[in-house]
């Protein structure tokens, strides 16, 4: 039961996205603002809309290109800021618009379109999911283009205004702050949401339902009032009161470890959604409705999605190759949270459960080999091995430096509301630790080993009486060294009848014998007694 409730549920996928490659001309401009205006048709399960995209030209540009799925989006027309119709070509999931723009100029276009849904709420797909009167979006990694034309690239953040029109019995939850609700003459209401914090397209979202709103607030570490709103379906209201009771405790923990909540001037919200749409949308996490059981088992997911507000939403990977900086960090935050409130035993129990997997299940580099393959980006190693790497890093640099690294990384103005790569995180680690850590990241993050994900070690020991006490010899064999030779700082615990002593060694050979001079006869020897190193370990007879 304990393990069931605390180990993150990870799905294994065989599905891959088609080989989506953003047109290289999209790198010649920077989006500054999106304004979305959508009207949903729940009966037909489609939408009509328009999106205004305001961008700054970075290099001379003759064709302005946006992402837009040909399967789900039909473009009716495109206009510029003078309401002049523009010529365009919609092909291969991109819209190409003729233009003639110089460096530093602004291009302002509005795309009028219709969109259908081919999304049924499954995790490895995305777009807009219609389920009766319940509607929600899921856009990670490249599914924003299925419901609105945009520059579907995590490296380009912009502000956003989101207008969603729905039947007037329903409520819309979205990013940022609810600025207004307009009553329309056709029996619909338009909810106008706005976020002034930069947001990546995959984090732009909306959720619709007959929600009951439950409001709360939290005083941030800097004394600011943060509104908290839960968007709950009526049938889950009582269960949600129990399941969401610790949200403020989670915020308190994360602010202490990572700095003030990144979107404190807007809100934190949780919206219940149908399907498999668990997602950390900026300022509004989507949580599967059927997880709200009133038992508290959803808490692990709430921690994970809240941690993404720092790692993923505020600090966003420059490309999907570096998605472990999102998922590994959010997964590790679960273990840190339970350590913070329940103690180190719980922390180690969670991390031990993460490491109790079969050899090879996390094989491959943590830096993704593909930024178009869903199964590669969201493989188990991205989540669990990512958390294990942070666990090991903590031991290598020590608690003081490790938590300083996390705080510095999350509060560095260079990274805040911007984009990062793995190299940026390594730089922050080395800057705090004041030592090179390439040996650590090379083997645990970069190395692309097909068949193994950890070393296999065997050991044996014996002791001999000497005139001054005992000499202990400990032989350690790195059995997997023919595939990859790891460098492993490790503790050795030596127990006698009266006490125990910890020694620190470094394993960096395929076989080596270590010697220890002892005063008292050793009765037992343990390697890595607290399981800080990801490994398979066996004792030789």
Residue 251 pLDDT: 98
Quick one: which of 386, 357, 382, 363 has its CA closest to 450?
Answer: 363
User: What is the per-residue pLDDT for 315?
Assistant: 98
Q: Determine the pLDDT at residue 369.
A: 77
Question: How do strand 158-167 and strand 29-41 relate by DSSP bridges?
Answer: parallel
When pLDDT is cut at 50, 70 and 90, the band that residue 427 belongs to is very high
H, E, C per residue of 257-290: HHCCCCCCCCCEEEEEECCCCCECCCCEEEEEHH
Average pLDDT over residues 64-90: 97
pLDDT band at 6 (very low <50, low <70, confident <90, very high): very low
Q: Which whole number is the average pLDDT over 381-392?
A: 97
pLDDT at 511: 97
Decide if 286 contacts 138 (C-beta within 8 A).
yes
Q: What does the pLDDT read at residue 458?
A: 98
pLDDT exceeds cutoff 80 at 18 = no
Asked if 297 and 324 touch (Cβ cutoff 8 Å), the reply is: no
For 282-286, what is the mean pLDDT?
A: 98
Statement: residue 12 has pLDDT above 80: no
Q: pLDDT value at position 20?
A: 57
Q: How many helices (H) and strands (E) does the chain have?
A: 12, 27
Q: What pTM did the predictor assign?
A: 0.95
Estimate the crossing angle of helix 386-397 against helix 344-355, to 10 degrees.
130
Structure confidence by residue, pLDDT tens digits, 228-261: 999 999 999 999 999 999 999 999 999 999 999 9
**Of the candidates 355, 505, 324, the residue with the CA atom closest to the CA atom of residue 426:** 324
Confidence band, pLDDT 50/70/90 cuts, at residue 164: very high
H or E element, residue 178? strand 177-183
Is residue 205 a contact partner of residue 137, using CB atoms and an 8 Å limit? Answer: yes
CA 302 to the chain's CA centroid: 13
Give every strand in the sheet of 134-138, ordered side by side.
Answer: 127-131, 134-138, 206-209, 171-174
Q: Is 3's pLDDT higher than 90?
A: no
Q: How far apart are CA 311 and CA 322, in angstroms?
A: 12
Reply yes or no on whether the pLDDT at 75 is more than 80.
yes
What rounded mean pLDDT belongs to the chain? 94
Q: What is the mean pLDDT of residues 6-15?
A: 39
Q: What is the pLDDT of residue 373?
A: 79
- The residue-averaged pLDDT of 363-374 equals 84
User: 84 in helix, strand or coil?
Assistant: coil
Distance CA 388, CA 354 (A): 7
Is pLDDT of 4 > 60? no
Specify the pLDDT at position 22.
87
Q: In angstroms, rounded to a whole number, what is the distance separating the alpha carbons of residues 447 and 381?
A: 13
pLDDT at 541: 78
Interval 97-125 mean pLDDT: 96
Q: Express each pLDDT in 209-225 by its tens digit.
A: 999 999 999 999 999 99
Q: With beta carbons less than 8 A apart as the criterion, state whether 228 and 217 touch.
A: yes
Average pLDDT score over residue span 52-65:
97
In the numeric block, which tokens belong to residue 257?
């470890």
What digits encode the pLDDT tens for the residues 307-332? 999 999 999 999 999 999 999 999 99
Span 20-47, mean pLDDT? 94
Measured distance CA(454)–CA(436) in Å, rounded: 22
pLDDT in tens, 91-101: 999 999 999 99
Q: Of 2-11, 180-189, 275-284, 517-526, which range is least confident? A: 2-11
Angle of CA points 373, 120, 209, to nearest 5°? 120
**Mean pLDDT of all residues in 20-41:** 94
Strands 536-539 and 456-466: parallel
Place of tokens 């037992």: 524
**Nearest partner of 448 among 483, 490, 422, judged by Cα:** 483
Q: What is the pLDDT of residue 417?
A: 98
Q: What does the block give as tokens for 489?
A: 């700082």
Cis omega (within 30 of 0) for bond into 470: no
Q: List the structure tokens of 243.
A: 């399941």
Q: CA-to-CA distance for 50 and 36, rounded, in angstroms?
A: 6
Q: For 450-487, write each residue's pLDDT tens digit.
A: 899 999 999 999 999 999 999 999 999 999 999 999 99
């Amino acid at each position: 039961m304990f393990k069931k409730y605390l180990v993150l549920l990870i799905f294994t996928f065989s599905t891959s996205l088609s080989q989506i490659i953003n047109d290289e001309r999209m790198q010649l401009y920077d989006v500054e603002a999106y304004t979305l205006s959508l009207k949903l048709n729940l009966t037909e399960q489609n939408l009509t809309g328009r999106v205004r995209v305001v961008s700054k030209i970075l290099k001379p540009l003759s064709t302005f290109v946006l992402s837009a799925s040909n399967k789900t989006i039909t473009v009716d027309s495109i206009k510029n800021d003078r309401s002049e119709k523009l010529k365009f070509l919609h092909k291969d999931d991109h819209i190409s618009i003729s233009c003639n723009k110089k460096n530093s100029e602004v291009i302002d276009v509005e795309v009028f379109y219709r969109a259908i849904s081919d999304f049924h709420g499954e995790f490895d797909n995305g777009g807009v999911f219609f389920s009766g009167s319940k509607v929600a979006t899921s856009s990670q990694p490249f599914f924003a283009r299925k419901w609105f034309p945009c520059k579907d690239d995590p490296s380009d953040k912009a502000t956003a205004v989101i207008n969603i029109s729905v039947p007037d019995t329903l409520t819309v939850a979205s990013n940022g702050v609810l600025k207004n609700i307009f009553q329309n003459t056709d029996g619909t209401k338009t909810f106008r949401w706005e976020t002034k914090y930069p947001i990546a397209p995959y984090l732009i979202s909306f959720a619709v339902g007959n929600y009951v709103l439950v409001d709360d607030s939290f005083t941030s570490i800097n004394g600011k009032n943060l509104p908290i709103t839960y968007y709950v379906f009526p049938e889950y209201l009582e269960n949600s009161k129990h399941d969401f009771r610790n949200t403020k405790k989670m915020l308190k923990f994360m602010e202490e470890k990572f700095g003030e909540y990144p979107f404190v001037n807007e809100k934190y919200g949780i919206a219940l959604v149908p399907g498999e749409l668990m997602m950390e949308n900026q300022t509004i996490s989507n949580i599967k409705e059927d997880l709200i059981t009133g038992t508290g088992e959803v808490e692990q997911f709430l921690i994970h999605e809240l941690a993404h507000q720092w790692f993923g939403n505020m600090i966003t990977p420059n490309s999907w190759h570096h998605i472990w900086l999102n998922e590994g960090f959010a997964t590790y935050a679960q273990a840190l949270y339970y350590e913070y409130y329940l103690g180190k035993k719980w922390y180690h129990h969670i991390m031990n459960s993460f490491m109790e997997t079969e050899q090879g299940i996390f094989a491959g580099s943590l830096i993704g080999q593909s930024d178009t393959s869903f199964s590669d980006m969201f493989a188990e190693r991205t989540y669990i091995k990512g958390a294990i790497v942070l666990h090991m890093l903590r031991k290598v640099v020590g608690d003081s430096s490790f938590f300083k690294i996390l705080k510095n990384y999350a509060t560095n103005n260079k990274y805040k509301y911007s984009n990062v790569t793995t190299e940026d995180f390594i730089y922050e680690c080395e800057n705090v630790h004041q030592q090179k850590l390439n040996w650590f990241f090379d083997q645990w993050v970069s190395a692309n080993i097909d068949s193994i994900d950890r070393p296999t070690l065997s050991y044996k020991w014996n002791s001999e009486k000497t005139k001054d006490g005992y000499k202990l010899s400990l032989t350690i064999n790195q059995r997997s060294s023919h595939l990859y030779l790891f460098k492993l700082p490790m503790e050795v615990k030596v127990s006698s009848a009266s006490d125990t002593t910890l020694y620190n060694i470094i394993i960096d050979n395929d076989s080596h014998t270590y010697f220890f001079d002892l005063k008292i006869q050793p009765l037992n020897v343990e390697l890595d007694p607290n399981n800080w190193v990801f490994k398979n370990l066996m004792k030789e007879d």
